[in-house]
């Protein structure tokens, strides 16, 4: 479950990413996207083609993108949290693969068709759970909800605003009182909040800001793996909060 280095824009396509792990491949791509590092078009197309080939394979969740055999031991999310259950790994990697494939914006008909099929399968499963009475706005656990919210934030699924508004109500009800939440992991949820943005997530961003002001100085000086990612998430959240009108 190592986090592999960000993409090298000068690397040969064959050396771009670890093709033995969907989780590791998505992790390196997500880092480049998060920090706005250039990914040349040829690399973007190669990455998208590889992700697309995993759509609907055995082990995929809701017809999204299947984990590899090596992912079965567990994955580490962008902000460091670990997911180990088979279903959780398949769901979170499926959500992240959809998000990354959408963000790469490649002009490839096969990649586009694979994303469309994955979104269709995810929406069908989502509708089924809501029809059975599962709360609209969250999905499964707090961690899975974060992955789901990140795709709602880019309007990948229908009724995105409605579902996010209801999700923020559920999140508020899970407050611990110290800037964190019960069952919703702090760092990954904060990442989702900055992607949702203040129009819908203002209240929970301001709530989390109290905790971020305490831990950000420590994270900013840390040499621990993933500390720079977490610090960047916290700084973006605080910057967004400070830019809001009173």
CA-to-CA dists, residue 174 to 130, 182, 183, 199, angstroms: 20, 5, 7, 20
Name 181's Cβ contacts closer than 8 Å, sequence gap at least 6: 142, 171, 174, 175, 189
pTM of the model: 0.92
Q: How far apart are CA 224 and CA 229, in angstroms?
A: 10
| Tokens (6 digits) for 116 | 């469309």
Positions in the chain whose pLDDT score sits under 50: 1-5, 13
Closest by alpha carbon to 205, among 216, 213, 221, 193? 193
Q: How far apart are CA 122 and CA 157, in angstroms?
A: 8
| Residue 82 bridge partners (DSSP) | 76
Residue-wise pLDDT tens digits, 121-147: 999 999 999 999 999 999 999 999 999
Closest by alpha carbon to 79, among 34, 44, 37? 34
Q: How far apart are CA 8 and CA 187, in angstroms?
A: 26
Closest by alpha carbon to 31, among 3, 64, 66, 1? 3
Q: How far apart are CA 133 and CA 48, in angstroms?
A: 35
pLDDT of the residue at 124: 97
Name 42's Cβ contacts closer than 8 Å, sequence gap at least 6: 13
Q: How far apart are CA 13 and CA 2, in angstroms?
A: 21
Closest by alpha carbon to 58, among 67, 45, 46? 67
Q: How far apart are CA 83 and CA 86, in angstroms?
A: 9
């Amino acid at each position: 479950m190592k986090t592999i280095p960000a993409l090298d824009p000068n690397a040969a396509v064959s050396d771009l990413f670890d093709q033995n792990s969907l989780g590791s491949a998505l992790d390196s791509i997500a880092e480049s996207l998060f920090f706005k590092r250039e990914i040349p078009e040829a690399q973007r197309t190669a990455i998208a083609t590889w992700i697309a080939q995993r759509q609907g394979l055995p082990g995929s969740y809701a017809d999204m993108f299947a984990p590899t055999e090596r992912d079965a031991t567990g994955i580490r999310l962008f902000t460091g949290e670990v997911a180990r259950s088979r279903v959780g790994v398949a769901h979170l990697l499926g959500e992240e693969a959809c998000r990354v494939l959408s963000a790469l914006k490649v002009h490839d008909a096969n990649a586009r068709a694979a994303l469309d099929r994955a979104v269709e399968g995810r929406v069908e499963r989502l509708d089924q759970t809501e029809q059975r009475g599962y709360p609209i706005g969250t999905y499964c656990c707090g961690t899975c909800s974060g992955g789901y919210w990140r795709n709602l934030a880019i309007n990948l699924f229908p009724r995105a605003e409605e579902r996010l508004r209801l999700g923020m109500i559920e999140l508020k009800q899970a407050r611990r009182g110290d800037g964190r939440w019960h069952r919703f992991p702090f760092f990954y949820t904060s990442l989702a909040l900055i992607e949702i943005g203040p129009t819908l997530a203002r209240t929970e961003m301001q709530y989390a800001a109290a905790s971020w002001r305490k831990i950000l100085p420590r994270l900013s000086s840390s040499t621990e793996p993933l500390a720079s990612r977490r610090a960047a998430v916290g700084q973006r959240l605080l910057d967004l909060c400070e830019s809001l009108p009173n």
